[in-house]
Structure 1
């Protein structure tokens, strides 16, 4: 599906493209392509894109959330939304983590070797041409303060934005909402008309570590709630 290819292009991971997208993907990626897989996820309405082994996602009925457990793995849940940005510009979600990401090897978050996060939420805009696809990753950083942002180390088509930082808030739920129209303008200098997809990912493959979290999955809304 196109929206899965969009997520692959902006998730900040090397991947194998389906012909005839291979040439376009080569423009987006800074590393050689490797085989990847898209599979149905255990969460209804969401697909799973596997970059490097599977992060385990499951519905936690007691906590009313989707639990993610990564062990030297990286896969994400993605959902096509095709929403008119001016009508539903507000992205809302919540997450909780009991412990920070436990890296098996230390590396700076802004580097490829350190590009793992206990929680990520993506919002994806599809450009007219495939290489114009852009994304914003809202992340829980282990190094940088809230408000920090930088280009993803694998592709400059995605910007990392820190919305939570450090060990503060472990063990409790945190709700977020962002006006993605304003954020695409701020971080990509881009006025968007449509939101193509949203996604989440807990990953620990680059640092060869472990991470776990629970998500109340992202959704789009017409107005702010918090």
Structure 2
């Protein structure tokens, strides 16, 4: 499930579109405008996002322990098409009980997500009601289309499927058991092409990108996971 945080971030001149996701001080939270976002009225434990040093490089350590949280970086409203998202990541401790096809198993050791402001007239009527309810609970608009790149313990790379909670979130599995644990992998994704692949059944034009989000959750499978992300860059 995605819950949106209402805030703004400006981009001037050659300023990077994303602030660094990790700082130089170990165990420190990510620098602003990165912000942790929880479920409305959340009482369950929070997943943790802290800076760490691995192999001499500043990276973000993401850990979940029967917990939920996301880390969101907002973008200026109406950020145009033509984005590429690049990053490095690795999983040190996966979630063996995860099953993204079922609500009871909808957990990820790490996900990197792109949130789009898809026009509501492109969204099926029934799902507009879900968006309205989610926005009311969050106290802010919930983006209508979210792509989450995930590292799953079982599903083969290339698997595409909707979240079992809402089709407003769709998963693209990039890695599974094909990569050994604690192994860095570099990614580079054309967000326009991926949006049209995952949401092309609804919209033929890529809507504005409004945020980038990281996450890890283990609240459904009651597990524990550890992953790392670094060198997260959004290019136009």
| TM-score computed with the length of structure 2 as normaliser | 0.71
User: More deviation in 47-56 or 137-146?
Assistant: 47-56
Q: Choose 188-197 or 64-73, whichever is displaced more.
A: 188-197
Number of the residue aligned with 2:114: 123
Counterpart check, 1:56 vs 2:48:
yes
Match of 1:93 in 2: 87
In structure 1, list runs of 5 or more residues that go unmatched: 1-5, 10-16, 19-40
- The RMSD of aligned alpha carbons is 2.4
Give secondary structure in 2 for the equivalent of 1:185.
helix
1:168 deviation in Å? 2.3
Q: Which residue of 1 aligns with 2:165?
A: 154
Question: Is it true that 1:206 corresponds to 2:198 in the alignment?
Answer: no
Once the two structures are superposed, what CA deviation does each residue of 1:18-47 show, in whole Å capped at 9, x if it has no partner?
9xxxxxxxxxxxxxxxxxxxxxx9211201
Equivalent pair of 1:136/1:158 in contact (CA under 8 Å):
yes
* Equivalent residue, structure 2, for 1:109: 100
Q: May I ask how many residue pairs the two structures share in their alignment? A: 183
TM-score, normalised via structure 1 length: 0.73
Distance 1:219 1:107 in 2: 28
**Contact in 2 for aligned 1:142/1:167 (Cα 8 Å):** no
SS at match of 1:97: strand
| CA deviation after TM superposition for structure 1 residue 169, in Å | 2.7
Counterparts in 2 of 1:115-194, with a 5 A limit? 115-129=106-120, 131=131, 133-166=144-177, 168-189=179-200, 190=203, 191-194=205-208
SS at match of 1:98: strand
The answer to whether the Cα contact below 8 Å between 1:66 and 1:217 also exists between their aligned partners in 2 is: no
SS of aligned partner of 1:121:
strand
Runs of 4+ in 1 over 6 A off after TM superposition: none
- Structure 1 residue 167 displacement after superposition: 6.1
2: CA distance between counterparts of 1:171 and 1:181?
A: 30
